[in-house]
Amino acid sequence: LLYCDYFSWAILFSHPADFTPVCTTELARAAQLAEKFQERNVQMIALSCDSPESHRGWINDIVAYAKDPNVTSDGFPFEIIADEDRKLAVELGMLDPAEKDSKGMPLTARAVFIIDPSKKLRAQILYPATTGRNFEYVRLCYSLLSCMPG
């Protein structure tokens, strides 16, 4: 989480694979809400096991689905980490052993980590790869946590 400013909250979330319908709609919604998160000093970071090239191509699909003038390919509102070797996903317990890619490698589950400015994990939500997230719920969780002492 060195990517994040020291005095900001962070939301790290993973998705099973680029170019899948549920992941595309989820990240489009996250991108639409990114400005609201930024206004509250929250940095968002996505992660999957796909390559940087895949992420760059997929961002165009996300932007097209978002249909939001504030969500563009050139200024996409958050980074998508390419964890091709799954090292970070393993370390953070994000892999879903029941869901595998075409090579038989486990995919990341739909994990959400909400991290406070002191880099303390304040919430962890883990959805199976087959279940989509509601980013309004993630926003609500952050709002409640940010009002509570660490």
CATH of the domain at 84: 3.40.30.10
For the chain, 150 residues long, the average pLDDT of each consecutive 10-residue run is: 67 95 96 95 95 97 96 95 96 91 92 94 88 91 87
Decide if 49 is catalytic: no
Q: In this predicted structure, what is the pLDDT of residue 1?
A: 46
Q: In this predicted structure, what is the pLDDT of residue 51?
A: 97
Residue 71's domain spans which residues?
A: 13-146
Q: In this predicted structure, what is the pLDDT of residue 11?
A: 96
Looking at this protein, which amino acid is placed at residue 72? T
Residue 116: how many other CB atoms lie within 10 Å: 17
Domain count across the chain: 1
**42 and 8 Cβ atoms separated by less than 8 Å:** yes
Residue 1 lies in a domain: no
What residue has token string 């997929």?
58
Residue 28 lies in a domain: yes
61 is written with which tokens?
């699909």
pTM for this model (two decimals): 0.90
Q: Which residue of the set 23, 49, 141, 147 is catalytic? A: 23
**112 and 138 Cβ atoms separated by less than 8 Å:** yes
CB-count burial class (<10 Å; 0-12, 13-18, 19+) for 124: middle
Residue 30 lies in a domain: yes
Q: In this predicted structure, what is the pLDDT of residue 5?
A: 59
Q: In this predicted structure, what is the pLDDT of residue 129?
A: 73
CA gap 130, 138 in Å, rounded: 18
Q: In this predicted structure, what is the pLDDT of residue 127?
A: 86
